[in-house]
Amino acid sequence: MGEIVLAAKITHVPSMIISEQPGPHNGCRDAAINGLKKLGDMARELDVDTFVVLDTHWLVNAAFHINGNRRNEGVYTSHEFPHFIQNLGYDYTGNPELSHAIAEKAVARGINAMSHEVPSLDLEYGTIVPMRYMNEPGDIKVVSVAAWCTRHELKDSRRIGEAIAEAVKESDSRVALLASGSLSHLIWENRLVDKGLFTISSEFNKQMDLRGA
């Protein structure tokens, strides 16, 4: 019987990548990077074999989609923030059995959901960036779930969660379930975005993030 042994809401802020590089922003996201590394260490202490990442940067318009590839590897440059994330290599083993099971359980709950084994289906940075720090050795499997469906009802999200829980329970996997993203995704408007690099653009979103932490 499988089990969700760790659950966390995590950051994937792209400025973690420029924090690694020489220049004026070097070290600016050390706290976030170290926090993700600590969560990775906790996962290993709990014998986690699979990260299930709910990726809010994987936008879909029809159906919930799950990356069921047996292996995900590539070189990633962000279309949204190419000045932050460029030529970032990644290589992670997947868990297609769990991915397909999640989709099956979701469909059984009336949710339009699909799991895919398509080698050209890349990961998004809501998965790649946190895995860079939590899963640096690449020793833990990764299942990425599209968590931004533009046309769905709130209850669908709950049913997806139920499907994940049931699929994990019926598997032989020890899972860390990661919600990658927060309400503070609302980016500053373009004329202010550079000055707002380290602040949240909405006080409401800031308070919701703090209360949900």
Residues 93 and 195 reside in one and the same domain:
no
**pLDDT given for residue 185 in this prediction:** 67
Residues 101 and 204 reside in one and the same domain:
no
Q: What domain count does the chain have?
A: 2
**pLDDT given for residue 191 in this prediction:** 82
**pLDDT given for residue 127 in this prediction:** 98
Residues 209 and 128 reside in one and the same domain:
no
Residues 7 and 62 reside in one and the same domain:
yes
Residues 42 and 126 reside in one and the same domain:
yes
Q: Which domain holds residue 197?
A: 186-213
Residues 153 and 203 reside in one and the same domain:
no
**pLDDT given for residue 109 in this prediction:** 96
Tens digits of pLDDT across the chain (213 residues): 999 999 999 999 999 999 999 998 899 899 999 999 999 999 999 999 999 999 999 999 999 999 999 999 999 999 988 999 999 999 999 999 999 999 999 999 999 999 999 999 999 999 999 999 999 999 999 999 998 888 878 889 899 999 999 999 999 999 999 999 866 667 777 787 777 777 777 888 788 777 765
As a residue count, the chain comes to: 213
**pLDDT given for residue 76 in this prediction:** 97
Residues 207 and 110 reside in one and the same domain:
no
State the Cα torsion 127-21-187-90 to the nearest 10°. Answer: -20
Full-model pTM: 0.92
